[in-house]
Amino acid sequence: MIKLSKLIAVIMILVMTISLVACGGGSSNSANTVDPDADVSQSNGSNDSKDEDTEPQEKVKIKFLSLSADENRNNIRENYIKVNVEKEMPHVEVEYDLGGGGQDYANKLKAYNASGDMPDVWFSEQNLSSVVIATGNALDLLPYVKESGFDKKFKMKEIVSPDKDGKLYCVQPGADQYFTPRLWYHKDIFEEHNIEIPKTFDELINVCEILKDKGYIPISIVGKDGWTPNLHLLQTMIMIEDPQVAIDLVNNETDFSNPVVKNALGRIQKLVQIGAFAPGVTNIDYGPAMEMYTSGEAAMLAMFTWELGNLEKAAPDTDFFPWPTVDETVDPNGAIQYWGAPLSGYLAWANTENPKVAAEFAMFCATQDALYYNIEQKAPTMLDTGIEIEGMSDLMKRNLEQFENAQLKIPSLWSAVFNARTSAEIATLNSMLLTGEYSPDEYIEAINPIWAENFD
Amino acid sequence: MEKYYRNKFAIFIFAFPALLLFTTFVVYPVFPEIVISFQKHDGFTSSGFVGFENYIKVLQDKTFWKSNMNTYYMAFISTFIGLPISLLFALIMDRLDEPMRRFFKASSLLPAVLSVTVIAQMWVAIYEPQWGLINGILRKLNLDHLAIPWLSNEKTVVPAITIAFLWQYLGFNALLFYAGIKAIPATYYEAALIDGAGFIRASLKITIPLLQEMIKYVLIISVLGCMSQFAHVRIMTAGGPGDMSRTVIYHLYYKAFSASDFGQGCAIAVLFIIQCLILTFIINQFVAREKIEF
């Protein structure tokens, strides 16, 4: 018996030793590892190494964090970046990190930022980009942009102009500058129930009540983390009374105590209280909000024009009307808000192993982004991709026409959010506002100190 | 055996690896956390020491107290409603036939082994205002006025999350109690049976008193589990609407990662550790103080 035990023990030791040796020896000849100091040209295959002909070309690994909660971002990643990177950047192997959307994405990026171990390239909006830049984690892309001539492709040079510190941290497709929030609606539903397009806010309330009685959700919005009020609804509600107050708020020349802002908060509260939004709106994410509208469950949708192409495909009876103003003295077409912010786009990590490849990949992503909008959405971009946009739909033409004709173009309030705390607190407060039980006074009391700190 | 227990050096040598790991990964990280709690820190860089400012801000923050209320509400419900139900399940399970018992054991364990994400998503679907199970049943019963958005209503959101959390661990706690019941010698029950004691009397006079140590164990893991409740809240409501369903740990996460204020986040963590230590001390003081030997 003892001999048998000893024999088993010896066999076990041998098996474990062999398996340890077998499992532990694979790292020395990994095809994907690369010398951090290696020049990009080497990975492109331009060196004279004798091994070049005999060994497979080493690929540079790039970790790319992207938004994955909306269809546009998914299409850009899956159908443009993934497909074209193999053709245009064969020396690059991309590891895709899907970060979700909204606050989930923000938290993920902030956690990366806090750890100091960032993805090589990522997409982020202004408020998040500011956080990363402040901690020194963003790469200055200016030398690479100049070297490649990427800056010469932009119709609006401000997009590729360096920041105050002389550095350029973000490259973007320049589609954002054309994006504006619209109130989309199903023409068929309105016609079926003989509903007139509302011109004033009171008429909008009336329309919502009629639609609710007919069994529709009047307006579909993204309520999770207060997304729609964060990104445009609050500003829209200000602009329908006095656009100048929105400009003043963006420039910190007024605060939330301004009576126009208070009225705007009250209007959102009223919309919630009359049931203009879906039940449980505070838990509705981007995808379900879109689905709610395209399925015909909701009659209207408060959303940016970046969804125009998707809406035309998924709900062909879609049209839009200008946001109804508080009264007829305010021109609904006079002012428009636009989404684009200087730091919304693709950034690269300052400590990436291959800064040149990371910068090239960021520019590649911006280009693919622009291509997607030019080709799929028939939408213009400030980045000239060489694509002639043909067959622009009537809806897109009218959208651009109204955009161009607006005398006042106001940047998004969200682009004036400079730190993580402000964006997080605004998201919390807007989520509370969507319960319908949080008063404008409570909101103002909570937001004013945070807003003041935002500009310190 | 006594001789071995007297050899302190041997005890130290045997305990050393575990002690080293525990100190490195559990005790040590608390100290940097305490240091950061006295700093203005964004998670990446420190702007210097600020004394007790973070603690003052945290203690003046209404959301911190609301998060504490939510956390204690969950712990209270879990202790005073969840545990008695689990105990009742365990007592019933003990009296069942073998096939039924096996079925109960498997179904008790299933929710506990499933991912929290799966459970939380399932409950989100159950609570869905328009097509969810609960509101569907209420509408079928012509109780439309009761069909509310459970996870978006200030009054129902915390109880709704608590039910989901409770449901997941009800069966697991029942299994722990059942294991404790099985350790009680059958002779006690045989004697009770001769004396004419039925199920209820035997449970009250024999099972529950002799189960004290297991009750204490389940109580501690259950209370501390509720105290560190995060995943269900994160998935079901993300602490919302607004901050209405935040627990202490979720608020800590929000401060540290959403608002990038690690100083306040660490201050909340330190206060949380103190609360957990006090709770454990109280449970140890008042529940099953004497060791039960059969």
Q: Using one digit for the tens of pLDDT, what is the confidence trace for B235-288?
A: 999 998 999 999 999 999 999 988 889 999 999 999 999 999 999 899 888 876
- Give me chain A's average pLDDT, please: 86
Q: What are phi and psi of B276, to 5 degrees?
A: -65, -40
Distance from CA of A44 to the nearest CA of B (A): 35
Mean pLDDT, residues A348-374: 95
Q: Which residue of B has its CA nearest to A297?
A: B130
| pLDDT for A54 | 46
Residue A26 has pLDDT above 90, yes or no: no
Q: Note the pLDDT tens digit of each residue in A419-442.
A: 788 989 999 999 999 999 999 999
Distance from CA of B47 to the nearest CA of A (A): 12
Q: Are B129 and A279 an interchain contact pair (Cβ–Cβ within 8 Å)?
A: yes
A213, HSE (Cβ side, Cα atoms, 13 Å) = 8
Which residues are registered as beta bridge partners of B216? Answer: none
Residue A30 gets which letter from DSSP?
A: -
A273 touches chain B (CB under 8 A): no
Helix (H) or strand (E) holding A65: strand A60-66
| pLDDT for A4 | 57
pLDDT band at A9 (very low <50, low <70, confident <90, very high): low
| Burial class of residue B164 (count of CB atoms within 10 Å of its CB; 0-12, 13-18, 19+) | buried
d(CA B219, CA B280): 10
Going by their DSSP bridges, the two strands A181-186 and A298-304 should be labelled as antiparallel
According to the 3-state scheme, what is the secondary structure of B27-96?
HCCHHHHHHHCCEEECCCCEEEECCCHHHHHHHHCHHHHHHHHHHHHHHHHHHHHHHHHHHHHHHHHHHC
Mean pLDDT, residues B220-231: 91
Residue A40 has pLDDT above 70, yes or no: no
Residue B290 has pLDDT above 80, yes or no: no
Q: Are A435 and B45 an interchain contact pair (Cβ–Cβ within 8 Å)?
A: no
Task: Looking at A76-226, list the stretches that DSSP marks H as alpha helix, in order from N- to C-terminal side.
Answer: 82-88, 102-115, 126-134, 142-148, 187-192, 201-213
| pLDDT for A377 | 83
Which of A160-164, B95-99, B183-187 has the weakest average pLDDT? Answer: A160-164
Partner residue opposite B152 with nearest CB, options A114, A283, A438: A283
Handedness of CA B89, B94, B96, B101 (dihedral sign): positive
Fill in the amino acid letter for A269: Q
B211 touches chain A (CB under 8 A): no
Mean pLDDT, residues A41-66: 59
| pLDDT for A411 | 85
Residue A48 has pLDDT above 60, yes or no: no
Quick one: how far is CA B272 from the chain centroid?
Answer: 14
Quick one: how far is CA A180 from the chain centroid?
Answer: 13
d(CA B6, CA B11): 9
B149 touches chain A (CB under 8 A): yes
For residue A425, give the nearest of A294, A293, A303, A256 by alpha carbon.
Answer: A256
According to the 3-state scheme, what is the secondary structure of A340-370?
CCCCCEEEEECCCCCHHHHHHHHHHHHHHHH
Residue A36 has pLDDT above 60, yes or no: no
Residue A169 has pLDDT above 80, yes or no: yes
| pLDDT for A5 | 59
d(CA A1, CA B64): 65
Cis peptide before B32 (omega within 30 of 0): no
> Which chain B residues are within 8 Å of A107, Cβ to Cβ?
257-258
Three-state secondary-structure class, residue A257: coil
For residue A57, give the nearest of A16, A98, A91, A18 by alpha carbon.
Answer: A91
B118, HSE (Cβ side, Cα atoms, 13 Å) = 7
Q: Which residue of A has its CA nearest to B233?
A: A283
| pLDDT for A33 | 36
Q: In a mutagenesis test of the A interface, which of B121, B146, B258 is the best target, namely the one with the most A β-carbons within 10 Å?
A: B258
Kindly state the tokens that stand for A381. 């971009």
Residue A394 has pLDDT above 80, yes or no: yes
**With a cut of 0.90, is the ipTM above it?**
no
Q: How many CB atoms lie within 10 A of CB A148?
A: 15
pLDDT band at B4 (very low <50, low <70, confident <90, very high): low
Which of A199-208, A408-417, B136-145 has the weakest average pLDDT? Answer: A408-417
| Burial class of residue B196 (count of CB atoms within 10 Å of its CB; 0-12, 13-18, 19+) | exposed
Fill in the amino acid letter for A435: T
| pLDDT for A50 | 38
Q: Are A431 and B240 an interchain contact pair (Cβ–Cβ within 8 Å)?
A: yes
Q: In a mutagenesis test of the B interface, which of A435, A442, A456 is the best target, namely the one with the most B β-carbons within 10 Å?
A: A435
Q: In a mutagenesis test of the A interface, which of B152, B237, B261 is the best target, namely the one with the most A β-carbons within 10 Å?
A: B152
| pLDDT for A380 | 86
Going by their DSSP bridges, the two strands A217-220 and A298-304 should be labelled as parallel
Contact in structure between B43 and B256 (CB atoms under 8 Å): yes
d(CA A131, CA A124): 10
pTM: 0.79
| For chain B, percent of residues with pLDDT exceeding 90 | 62
Residue A235 has pLDDT above 90, yes or no: yes
Which contacts of A84-88 are long-range, i.e. CB under 8 A and separated by 24 or more positions?
A84/A364, A84/A368, A85/A361, A85/A364, A88/A364
B4 touches chain A (CB under 8 A): no
Q: Are B152 and A280 an interchain contact pair (Cβ–Cβ within 8 Å)?
A: yes
Q: Are A114 and B244 an interchain contact pair (Cβ–Cβ within 8 Å)?
A: no
Partner residue opposite B45 with nearest CB, options A135, A225, A281: A135
For residue A227, give the nearest of A174, A123, A302 by alpha carbon.
Answer: A302
| pLDDT for A16 | 57
Contact in structure between A151 and A440 (CB atoms under 8 Å): no
Partner residue opposite A110 with nearest CB, options B154, B243, B260: B260
CA distances from B171 to A441, B82, B108, B111, B174 (A): 46, 10, 4, 8, 5
> Chain A 190-209, CB below 8 Å of chain B: which residues?
none
Q: Are A279 and B258 an interchain contact pair (Cβ–Cβ within 8 Å)?
A: no
B254 touches chain A (CB under 8 A): yes
pLDDT band at B156 (very low <50, low <70, confident <90, very high): very high
Partner residue opposite B149 with nearest CB, options A280, A424, A438: A280
Q: How many residues does the structure list for chain B? A: 294
> Chain A 120-159, CB below 8 Å of chain B: which residues?
131, 135, 137
Residue A202 has pLDDT above 80, yes or no: yes
Q: In a mutagenesis test of the A interface, which of B42, B46, B121, B234 is the best target, namely the one with the most A β-carbons within 10 Å?
A: B42
Three-state secondary-structure class, residue A301: strand
Q: Note the pLDDT tens digit of each residue in A367-391.
A: 999 999 999 888 889 899 999 888 8
> Which chain A residues are within 8 Å of B144, Cβ to Cβ?
none
CA distances from A13 to A21, A25, A209, A308, B260 (A): 12, 18, 77, 66, 50
B45 touches chain A (CB under 8 A): yes
Fill in the amino acid letter for B48: G
Mean pLDDT, residues A292-306: 96
Mean pLDDT, residues A91-117: 88
Contacts of A99 by beta carbon, 8 Å cutoff, 6+ apart: A65, A66, A67, A68, A105, A108, A109, A122
A278 touches chain B (CB under 8 A): yes
